[in-house]
Amino acid sequence: MLPVPSWLRETWFAISHPIAANDIGSYKKGASNISTNAVRFSTRGVSAESESILKENKDKGNENKGNENKGSQINAVRHTLWQAAIASKYGAAVAKEAGDAHEDNPDAIKGQSFAQLLDKKFSSSEKADEAIDLSNNETGRNIGTDNKGAGMKDLAGKVLDTFAQIGLYTSYLDDQGNTRITVTKITPEQYKQLLDVIKTLDNTGRTIY
């Protein structure tokens, strides 16, 4: 049986959950939907002109424009916060459906243990990124479920707490050039800088003037 393509699952999600789908949206510069807000929070620097505090993934295989955030710290926070915000407002089931619709193979990590995921050698950065997204999505849903009705500013703080204390999934290249996934933590300096920045933001990730 052929897998259902992601565009069809996304269409079905929009039909089944029109209000949530409109609120989630997709990234668009200047928008205030959940997807755009998650990008805004995850790419903040210490000032509007500075580079993101969170890091891109510079490993070989991610050099092409658009790939630099695959398996990165930025991508980890973006996906985790995105799912946390959806779960907090619409519930974990709706968040999972939205997250699964976004991926080519939503069953990519089904039945695999934590140890198996860390031991796996992925055939491409795209395959690793999908496993990472699905894993971080689950963490985000747990955060959202534990913080029902919270705004994205508060949820961003909870995501950073998790990243600093427990870790989120990212990718790296091993000595043989294989793409692997791991759980990493942000540094204490990154954590402090990001918490300080978040204090200056509203629930869309924009600076409060």
Pairwise CA distance, residues 195 & 188, whole Å: 11
State residue 57's pLDDT score.
80
Q: Count of domains in the chain?
A: 1
Does 206 reside within a domain? no
107-166 pLDDT per residue, tens:
999 999 989 999 999 988 899 999 999 999 999 999 999 999 999 999 999 999 999 999
Residue 84 lies in a domain: yes
Domain range enclosing 71: 6-24+33-198
66 has a pLDDT exceeding 50:
no
Assigned domain for 186 exists: yes
Q: What is the spatial distance between Cα 6 and Cα 189, in angstroms, rounded to a whole number?
A: 38
pTM summary value: 0.93
**Token digits of residue 61:** 């295989």
Q: 6-10, 40-44, 89-93: which has the minimum mean pLDDT?
A: 6-10
Q: Does residue 108 lie in a domain region?
A: yes
78-111 burial: b if 16+ Cβ within 10 Å, else e: bbbbbbbbbbbbbbbebbbbbbbbbbeebebbee
Residue type, 62: N
Within-domain flag for 207: no
Q: 55-59, 91-95, 183-187: which range is least confident on average?
A: 55-59
Q: Does residue 193 sit within a domain?
A: yes
Give Cα 11 distance to the centre of its chain.
Answer: 21
Per-residue pLDDT band for 2 (boundaries 50, 70, 90) equals low
Cβ proximity of 191 and 164 under 8 Å: yes
Q: The tokens of 169 are what?
A: 């999934």
Mean pLDDT of 92-115: 94
Residue 99 near residue 162, CB atoms below 8 Å: no
Structural domain contains residue 203: no
- Residue 1's pLDDT is what? 58
